[in-house]
Amino acid sequence: MQSVRVVHISDLHISEHLLRGADSTFYLPHRYGHNVQAFLALNNFLKKTGWDLLLITGDVSRIGNIQSFEWVRNWLENEIVFGDTHLGLNLSKSPDRTYLIIPGNHDRFNGELRQSSLDLYHQEFPVVRSGSVKSLTIHGHKINVHFFDSTTPEGGFAFGAIEQRSLGPKNLSDEDIDIALLHHHFLQPPKHPREISTELTNSADVAAYMLNAGFDGVFFGHTHKGYIGRPNVDTLSGLLNDRRKVPRVLTRLIPKWLMRKLEGECLVSYKRESARNGQLPTLASYFNYLYLRQKRHNLQGPSSFDNIHQFYEQMSKAAANESIHDELEKVKSKRILISLAPSACQAEAQWKGLHTVTFDRDESGLLDVSWDRYEFDGSEFQKKLRDLHVS
């Protein structure tokens, strides 16, 4: 079978017109829109590059106005002519290429600076029901794309959340390729400060769910910073800083600002629940707890116990069950593609880029995944020669 090539873009922040980006009239915080040259380069890249599926993970609009949504949909589905300039991917007439899209918090603004509704977005793009699935067959591969709307009217400016009822167990097949799409981040790129003010309000539950549901890849954006890699779940959970590894005497000597900095470089950005006496669980035990709770096992969190040792006893009893033990070991060895796309063309993004991902099967039928990172150099999107995984 031929491989499947996916392009992942995010955070376009398109203004009221494709060929007019930021201007002095609207040059206010979070209203600056897109860089026109970067958008033109994106258009050229997508028209000239071979790919099968385009994934767009939200914030297609700068301020959620209807004109921006109309322009984006027409750009994706049709051809637009401005004098000698021809834009548009014409995907409505393409039998070999398609796109899938989810909203971001900017798409909820409806012309304001606060999340309200997706009414204008839905005039151009389909409603996303969290947990819903769209199945595609591309070059003989069955690809299941799982949608999660992480925007919320209670999100103020940039916060997001995914309803707990949408994080239901998945019965996924090893023979299919299962991809999850959301806008907000639940992982924090290494070497970037943690963006607490814009992350999911229920990032603990979402992190446990996304890493443990069995997805082959999770695609998201929101931070305008890039990360892509395919570690196993055990490695991801192990990248969190564990305070228990630092002797208490040292924690009193290390300045608080340094401790916050170290904790801010965690890859997975969620806080652990403590026992009543303030003791924190180990990361491994807490991660196992979140996973088993998501799988509907009847377990209590650390805050239900007077001390953390009582929580450990509960987890030890659960792990003594052979089926639960095997379940935990299997999920920890699972390799999962994490694609946190940078902004493709937002005007003030520090750098602009996108990811391409190739899915294939090796001779034994195991999933083979490779990827490339592209960065806008001022005139076109160039493949990065060194894949450092982080921007």
Judge whether residue 142 has pLDDT over 70: yes
Spatial contact of 131 and 88, defined as CB atoms under 8 Å apart: no
* Range 339-344 average pLDDT: 96
CA 143, CA 10: separation in Å to the nearest integer?
20
Q: Which of 27-31, 234-238, 300-304 has the lowest mean pLDDT?
A: 27-31
CA 3, CA 15: separation in Å to the nearest integer?
35
Q: What is the pLDDT of residue 272?
A: 73
CA 237, CA 253: separation in Å to the nearest integer?
27
Average pLDDT, rounded, for the chain: 85
Helix (H/G/I), strand (E/B), else coil: 151: coil
Six-digit token string for 370: 């490779």
Per residue in 165-204, pLDDT tens? Answer: 898 888 889 899 999 999 999 876 666 666 767 878 888 7
Per residue in 200-258, pLDDT tens? Answer: 888 878 887 888 788 999 999 999 989 898 888 776 655 443 333 434 433 344 444 43
Per DSSP, helices labelled H in the chain are: 36-48, 66-77, 203-212, 233-238, 248-253, 256-264, 283-294, 308-319, 322-333
Is-above-0.85 flag for pTM?
A: no
Q: Which of 180-194, 220-234, 302-316, 346-360 has the lowest mean pLDDT?
A: 180-194
Please work out, in degrees rounded to the nearest 5, the angle formed at the alpha carbon of residue 300 by the alpha carbons of 188 and 170. 60
Task: Give the CA distances from residue 73 to residues 100, 129, 198, 264, 347, in Å, rounded to whole numbers and listed in that order.
Answer: 11, 20, 26, 37, 20
CA 20, CA 35: separation in Å to the nearest integer?
8
Spatial contact of 143 and 17, defined as CB atoms under 8 Å apart: no
Q: Which of 350, 348, 352 is nearest to 374 (CA)?
A: 352
Residue indicated by tokens 């001022």: 378
Spatial contact of 69 and 120, defined as CB atoms under 8 Å apart: yes
Q: Which of 188, 121, 186, 113 is nearest to 150 (CA)?
A: 186
Q: What is the pLDDT of residue 253?
A: 43
- Which element (helix H / strand E) includes 221? none
Spatial contact of 67 and 19, defined as CB atoms under 8 Å apart: no
Mention every residue, 6+ apart, whose C-beta is less than 8 A from residue 278: none
Position 311: which residue type?
A: F
CB atoms within 10 A of CB 373: 25
Q: What are phi and psi of 7, to 5 degrees?
A: -110, 130
Q: What is the pLDDT of residue 282?
A: 79
Residue indicated by tokens 């017109």: 17
Helix (H/G/I), strand (E/B), else coil: 357: strand
Position 213: which residue type?
A: A
- What are the respective helix, strand and coil percentages of the chain, to the nearest 5? 30, 25, 50
The domains found in the chain, sorted by start residue, are: 4-230+335-383 (3.60.21.10), 243-330 (no CATH)
Judge whether residue 280 has pLDDT over 90: no
Residue indicated by tokens 């892509």: 228
Position 141: which residue type?
A: H
CA 291, CA 286: separation in Å to the nearest integer?
9
Q: Mapped to the 3 state alphabet, what secondary structure does 156-204 carry?
A: CCCCECCCHHHCCCCCCCCCCEEEEECCCCCECCCCCCCCHHHCECCHH
